[in-house]
């Protein structure tokens, strides 16, 4: 007669099954992108039109499109903060946010490989942050749609002190992500401030107690996870500047925006400049477009991904090619459009978006 399995072996078996399930869940969207979203013949790098031999100048053209997933997460946190302010965290559709990430990554993978080379580092980064973001959204979503929703209902319209603190931090975090990596955010000091500054029991006691548990776990968990991620990122720090070629740049332009540094004249009215990256770069492109300047190349490349935010009746200007359209939960009357734009037409595209009543949101540098 066979002996029943010992309890510890039963638990080990269950743990192994759970680990297999988690690995499969993490790998399945990556497998889909790798098998369904790649192009048959990736494009090769087009030569630069300018004699620039600076090794820091040229970057992989396809990386513009594959940096969007990083910014998708930035937009998602801003959207979550806005929904929480309008209603509560439990009103946010976390699952839709996760599926939107992978759908946009699929579209942008095809676009990236159709335009030019992509780096392995960027591709791997997208998969790592995609799995991390998905896990976070699904865990938080399950909590907020259950216990969080219950205490939000019990609270009613009157916020607790914990709710108000969480809203302030959500806004601050969304703004922080515009120019810095998430793991650089001061999660532990924020947690210490939360317990030191936030009075307990104002309004709903149930909501106050539940929010203390939820926010402690969130800030503490992110703070712990940020330690190894920050260490890995520190081993290969990102460049914080980028070089571009601009036509018609004047001394007045340089004086008006000290973020622009002239490197040298290239002849024919073209100037090589160096600027900050990320959201500051988008602001500089808006500045140059307003002054009638034309960008000829960015990091040696002729195409760039941009996004605009616009009402549903606003169409993509002819200077760009629409790649995707995503809803914005906190602004149901608007959508976020991903648009492929030739760099030389970028200034015209920015002005056309403004004329049509849209907002030029971001240019995704390389």
Question: Angle formed by the axes of helices 205-234 and 187-197, to 10°?
Answer: 160
Other beta carbons within 10 angstroms of residue 182's beta carbon come to 21
In terms of DSSP H, where are the helices of the chain? 7-36, 63-66, 68-86, 94-115, 120-143, 149-155, 161-176, 187-197, 205-234, 251-256, 278-290, 346-355
Percent of the chain with pLDDT over 90: 82
pLDDT for 235 beyond 90? no
* Closest alpha carbon to 206 in 149, 274, 262: 149
Q: Is the dihedral of CA 105, 286, 278, 177 positive or negative?
A: negative
Mean pLDDT to the nearest integer, 207-226: 96
pLDDT for 18 beyond 80? no
Q: By mean pLDDT, which of 78-92, 112-126, 220-234, 245-259 is the weakest?
A: 220-234
Q: In Å, how far are 51, 58, 59, 123, 242 from 55, measured between CA atoms?
A: 12, 7, 9, 22, 12
Question: Angle formed by the axes of helices 187-197 and 161-176, to 10°?
Answer: 160
Per the CB < 8 A criterion, the answer to whether 288 and 295 are in contact is yes
* Distance in angstroms (rounded) separating the CA atoms of residues 309 and 338: 9
pLDDT in tens, 308-330: 999 988 889 999 999 999 999 99
pLDDT for 7 beyond 90? no
């Amino acid at each position: 007669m066979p002996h029943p399995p010992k309890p510890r072996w039963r638990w080990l078996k269950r743990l192994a099954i759970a680990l297999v399930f988690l690995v499969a869940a993490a790998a399945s969207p990556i497998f889909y992108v790798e098998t369904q979203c790649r192009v048959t013949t990736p494009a090769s790098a087009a030569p630069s039109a300018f004699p620039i031999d600076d090794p820091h100048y040229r970057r992989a053209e396809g990386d513009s499109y594959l940096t969007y997933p990083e910014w998708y997460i930035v937009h998602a946190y801003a959207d979550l903060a806005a929904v929480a302010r309008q209603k509560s965290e439990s009103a946010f559709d976390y699952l839709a946010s996760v599926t939107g990430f992978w759908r946009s990554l699929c579209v942008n993978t095809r676009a990236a490989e159709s335009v030019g080379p992509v780096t392995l580092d960027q591709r791997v980064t997208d998969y790592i942050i995609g799995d991390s973001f998905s896990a976070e959204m699904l865990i938080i979503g399950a909590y907020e749609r259950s216990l969080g929703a219950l205490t939000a209902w019990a609270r009613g319209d009157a916020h607790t002190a914990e709710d108000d603190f969480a809203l302030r931090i959500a806004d601050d975090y969304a703004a922080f992500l515009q120019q810095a990596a998430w793991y650089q955010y001061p999660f532990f000091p924020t947690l210490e401030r939360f317990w030191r500054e936030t009075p307990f029991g104002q309004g709903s006691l149930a909501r106050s107690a539940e929010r203390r548990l939820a926010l402690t776990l969130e800030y503490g968990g992110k703070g712990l996870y940020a330690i190894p991620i920050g260490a890995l990122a520190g081993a290969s720090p990102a460049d914080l500047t980028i070089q571009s070629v601009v036509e018609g740049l004047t001394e007045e332009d340089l004086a008006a925006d000290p973020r622009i540094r002239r490197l040298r004249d290239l002849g024919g009215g073209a100037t090589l400049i160096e600027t900050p990256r990320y959201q500051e770069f988008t602001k500089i492109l808006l500045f140059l477009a307003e002054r009638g300047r034309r960008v000829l190349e960015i990091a040696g490349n002729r195409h760039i991904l941009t996004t605009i935010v616009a009402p549903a009746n606003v169409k993509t200007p002819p200077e760009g090619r629409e790649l995707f359209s995503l809803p914005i939960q906190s602004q149901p009357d608007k959508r976020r459009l991903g648009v492929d734009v030739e760099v030389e037409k970028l200034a015209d595209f920015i002005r056309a978006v403004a004329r049509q009543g849209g907002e030029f949101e971001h240019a995704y540098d390389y």
